[in-house]
Amino acid sequence: MNLRQAAIGAAALDAGAIVVFSAIGRASHDEGILGPGGSGLATTAWPFLAGAGIGWVLARAWRRPCDWRRTGLAVWASTLAGGMLLRAASGQGVQVSFVIVAGTFLAVSLIGWRVVSGWIATRRGLKG
């Protein structure tokens, strides 16, 4: 796998984790995936997706997409902070308990898959 493929895969994993997070949140509040007007999941996910995009740019994540320290931490922090700021700016709720739950889920998913990936690569002698 080349670096471009790794970056595309990493971006897809990040986006997928954010969409899953958003879908679980909507389901846990009985809001349904589509919600009123059919845009429920998109309305919930877009602030976090935008935050992740900003994190990717700031970390230049395409250079080391699977590095949990350089990329994972930056993408996680940007997804959480940017997502919450954009939610607040767009009139969506930002309660402390939500920030804690979001921070935990997003850390486990956005950093977690990178940690596992690095562990597998090290075991296979593919470090780098």
Q: What is the band of 118 on the pLDDT scale with cuts at 50, 70, 90?
A: confident
Residue 55 has pLDDT above 90, yes or no: yes
- At 89 the pLDDT is 96
**CA distance linking residue 11 with residue 34, whole number of Å:** 24
The alpha carbon dihedral of 108, 113, 119, 123 has a sign of positive
pLDDT in tens, 6-43: 999 999 999 999 999 999 988 887 666 666 655 688 99
CA angle 15, 47, 67 (to 5 degrees): 40
**Cα-to-chain-centroid distance, residue 115:** 14
**pTM beyond cutoff 0.85:** yes
What are the angstrom distances between the C-alpha of 6 and each of 21, 22, 63, 124? 22, 24, 9, 16
Contact (CB, 8 A) for 11 and 53:
no
